[in-house]
Structure 1
Amino acid sequence: MDIFLQQLINGLTVGSIYALIALGYTMVYGILRLINFAHGDLAILGAFIGLTVITGLAGSGGAPANWIVIVAFVLAVLVVAIAGVLLEFTAYRPLRNAHRLSAVVSALGASMFIQNGIMLIWSPQTLTFPEGIMPQTTYNFGSVVISATQIFIVTVSLLLMLALYLYVNKTRFGTAIRAAAIDQDAARLMGINVNKVITSVFILGPALGAIGGLFIGVYYRQAVFDMGWIYGLNAFIAAIIGGIGNIPGAMIGGLLLGLFSSLASGYISSTWQQAIVFGLLILILMVRPTGILGERVADKV
């Protein structure tokens, strides 16, 4: 039972990170019917920017101050959000009326460009995050250990997901996003600036992804230039499981994927973890081809 509870805590932590990154995939798909394969690399770019800020401001003298960590998160969000807008303007907007395959190739090219750019700037070596970025407090419940870092990641992730859900469903501009997701031509006729909506999606998605990427670095205390592919792939799987194009679906899919991956690693083998994840995806798609929430609110973000 203790093993189950420990893996449950670990799974919720990782799943909340997957959910944050998955939101970027699902929002872009909801508007453009495009899989932004560069999104995972944008998220990891946030981890490297945060690491650079922390090491640059804190130096090598012990744990960084709280204000340094806050600055790292803010700058990571800003830089990655700008990168997301530039990506939309250069790689996707010129191909908006082209065949979907052209956009997919452009997305893959953008992913390789960002990944290799990270490698050239920060080197191909694995970089280590300094200790003490998050409080080192742990809470023991029998043999179950919960760290303050895990509590922080899960809490902030859930708050951000709730804020995004409320923004999209309860605000005027959120209504414009949902309208553009349903029918862009009709949205234009109603006076909605669709280009502005699309740009906002490429700001919100990468911004949340940057926080998720920095959470990965903080949690595992390392960053390597090509890890955006595997984390991006898992987040993409989470979006599909939940019903791609659906914000609550991405949240649910990310949490479920994290829980299932953690339990598979704890009870079976970490070597087979990725294969088991794909098996879960296949089973869910066999039962519900559009994902868990895909049919109920199809084509909406």
Structure 2
Amino acid sequence: MDTLIQQLINGLSLGSVYALVALGYTMVYGIINLLNFAHGDVYMVGAFVGYYIITNFNLGFLPTLILTMLITGILGLVIYQVAYRPLRNSTRIASLITAIGMSYLLQNGMIYIAGPQTRSFPQIINNQLYKFGAIQISTMQLLMLATTILLMIALQLIVQQTKFGKAMRAVSNDPEAAQLMGINSNQVISFTFFLGSMLAGAGGMLVGMYYNTITPTMGAGPGLKAFIAAVVGGIGSVPGAMLGGYLIGITEVMISAFGNSMIRDAVVYLILIIILLVRPSGILGKYEPEKV
């Protein structure tokens, strides 16, 4: 029982990161029906931004986190304005190909700037272990869980209580009607990219601190897993992205602990296939017939 609880804690820590990145996928898709496959590489950029801020300016955790989120948020705005906005009225396949191209651009751009080698992330907190019988949890795990929960609560408050949040929901429900009511859809979409990229940057920095290593290719795997989490939870649903992230994180850790770590990715993809077959809209998603 203690081992199960321990692995559950580990799974929640990993799932927190997937949830943060999945939120960016689900918000963008909910607004403009775009799968932003460059989002995982924004997560990677967040890890490197945090690394350089700590290395060059020796700031603490909170200032570094805020600056990292702001910089990656601005990066998200630039990506939208340069790569996606000109294709708003193009086919979905054009936007999808552009998203994949932007992903490779960010990845290879970071390889050119920072080099392909793995870097050791500097430690800015004292990572102690707290033991409760056979169960133990580290300071870093507590920090990841607390930071993720606070960011998710803040996102929910923004979406549900603020003027921009109401505009986001209006554009998501009916873009044409929202524009007729005077809502600037470009501003809303830009704000959505900004928010999603901020969360991805925070996730990248937290993972860098947790695993102590970062690399320019680190966004590919978690980015894909976060996309799966968004689909499983219900892409377009903020609570669904959170649920999917934690579900995928817990599943991976449980398979590694009690099964075979070599098949954990296969199990994640199997879950995706089952969800698409049984409930294509996701666990918390709503089925909407396509208009023709």
TM-score in terms of structure 2 length: 0.96
Q: Is the 8 A contact 1:245 1:298 kept in 2?
A: no
* Percent of residue pairs identical: 47
Correspondence for 1:172: 163
Correspondence for 2:115: 123
Q: Give how far 1:296 is off.
A: 7.0
Per-residue CA deviation, residues 73-97 of structure 1 (Å, 9 max, x unaligned), is 1221121111111100110000000
Q: Does 1:80 align with 2:82?
A: no
Distance in 2 between the 1:121 and 1:191 partners? 43
Distance in 1 between the 2:125 and 2:247 partners? 25
Would you say how many aligned residue pairs link Structure 1 and Structure 2? 290
Q: Give how far 1:227 is off.
A: 1.2
Per-residue CA deviation, residues 81-121 of structure 1 (Å, 9 max, x unaligned), is 11111100110000000011000000000000000011111
Secondary structure of 1:271's aligned partner:
helix
Q: Is the 8 A contact 1:3 1:266 kept in 2?
A: no
* Mapping 1:268-287, distance limit 5 Å: 268-287=259-278
Instruction: Supply the AA of the counterpart residue of 2:26.
Output: T
Distance in 2 between the 1:68 and 1:247 partners? 30
Secondary structure of 2:127's aligned partner:
coil
* Mapping 1:247-266, distance limit 5 Å: 247-266=238-257
Distance in 1 between the 2:32 and 2:142 partners? 35
Q: Is the 8 A contact 1:246 1:297 kept in 2?
A: no
Q: Is the 8 A contact 1:176 1:197 kept in 2?
A: yes
Q: Does 1:26 align with 2:35?
A: no
Q: Give how far 1:270 is off.
A: 1.5
Structure 2 stretches lacking a partner, 5+ long: none
Q: Give how far 1:135 is off.
A: 2.6
Correspondence for 1:106: 98
Q: Is the 8 A contact 2:158 2:165 kept in 1?
A: yes
TM-score in terms of structure 1 length: 0.93
Distance in 2 between the 1:183 and 1:292 partners? 23
Correspondence for 1:71: 63
Q: Give how far 1:183 is off.
A: 1.3
Secondary structure of 2:96's aligned partner:
helix
Distance in 2 between the 1:175 and 1:51 partners? 35
Secondary structure of 2:260's aligned partner:
coil
Per-residue CA deviation, residues 177-199 of structure 1 (Å, 9 max, x unaligned), is 00000111110001111111001
Distance in 2 between the 1:276 and 1:35 partners? 23
Per-residue CA deviation, residues 113-171 of structure 1 (Å, 9 max, x unaligned), is 0000111111100111123x223221112222101110111011011111111211122
Q: Does 1:135 align with 2:126?
A: yes
